[in-house]
Amino acid sequence: MAAIDGLPALREVIRDHDLVAKKSLGQNFLLDLNLTAKIARAAGDLTRCDVLEVGPGPGGLTRGLLAEGARRVLAVEKDSRCLPALAEIAAHYPGRLEVINGDALEVDVLAHLTPPIRIAANLPYNVGTELLIRWLTPAVWPPFWESLTLMFQKEVAERIVAKPGSAHYGRLALLAQWRCEARIVMVLPPEAFSPAPKVHSAVVHLQALPEPRYPAEPKILERVVAAGFNQRRKMLRASLRGLHPQIESLLEEAGIPPTERAERVTLEQFCHLARLLAR
């Protein structure tokens, strides 16, 4: 990649700008520019899109996104130490990179983006799941983004794509798969990062569906799923008791045995139950 974009190798950038990753910011910098380009390609055709990137750090994925033809990249970075390195990338790609120094949980990114929009990021570990849930639960659907291509700890990625009955199946899988096609596209070892985390990482690609797989009121479905998995070892008739006085009969009407546990209930069944609760 350095030969392609003419910018220094990432190890040089990190050394020259003294960018020691901060654990408090959930930082683990991905150093291999071949891998960042591969992640950018996993996000699909970017030539017609604005791309939102959260936590670019020294800009490895940023460079991949731009080199792969992203129309424009908006990078939101909380760590001001990274801004000079990102400014060098912006100068190399005039008019195609905007950097905002701020917290991604607070920045109004839509004021800086033009559709169509894709999101691609090596998310900081400490805010990754919260950002994903926000992107999956907007007030209206389809959302402002077409797809999400996101790196998480491998265990979190497995929770997103998990199927009923598996150890990782839970709230995250249901929220993701209700409205998206979700799949793991890449697994990365700890040594690909600086500092090396204790676990493997994985990239998940989520493609927004035009409409949810099954009809349901979002807020009700979220309440049902949250209650069901909050005490996942309990039978559903116990964990959902607070949602409706006749919860056992509603479970049966939805085709769910009241003695079943949440991890064995399908997305379709949860949506059916949410519709019954909305009556």
Measured in degrees and rounded to the nearest 5, phi and psi for residue 252 equal -65, -40
Measured in degrees and rounded to the nearest 5, phi and psi for residue 63 equal -65, -40
Asked whether residue 95 is marked as a ligand-binding residue, the answer is no
Question: What tokens appear for 206 in the block?
Answer: 């989520």
Give the C-alpha separation, 191 to 168, whole Å: 25
Asked whether residue 103 is marked as a ligand-binding residue, the answer is yes
Given the DSSP bridges, would you call strands 97-101 and 29-30 parallel, antiparallel or unpaired? unpaired
Asked whether residue 165 is marked as a ligand-binding residue, the answer is no
Asked whether residue 101 is marked as a ligand-binding residue, the answer is no
Query: How many other C-beta atoms are found inside a 10 Å radius of the C-beta of residue 67?
Result: 17
CA torsion 268-273-277-279 (nearest 10°) is 60
Asked whether residue 55 is marked as a ligand-binding residue, the answer is yes
Asked whether residue 68 is marked as a ligand-binding residue, the answer is no
CA torsion 154-120-105-31 (nearest 10°) is 70
Are 124 and 150 in contact, with CB atoms under 8 Å apart?
Answer: no
Give the C-alpha separation, 206 to 177, whole Å: 9
Residue burial 97-108, b: 16+ Cβ < 10 Å; e: rest: bebbeeebeebe
Binding residues for S-adenosyl-L-methionine: 28, 30, 55, 77, 103, 122
Binding residues: 28, 30, 55, 77, 103, 122
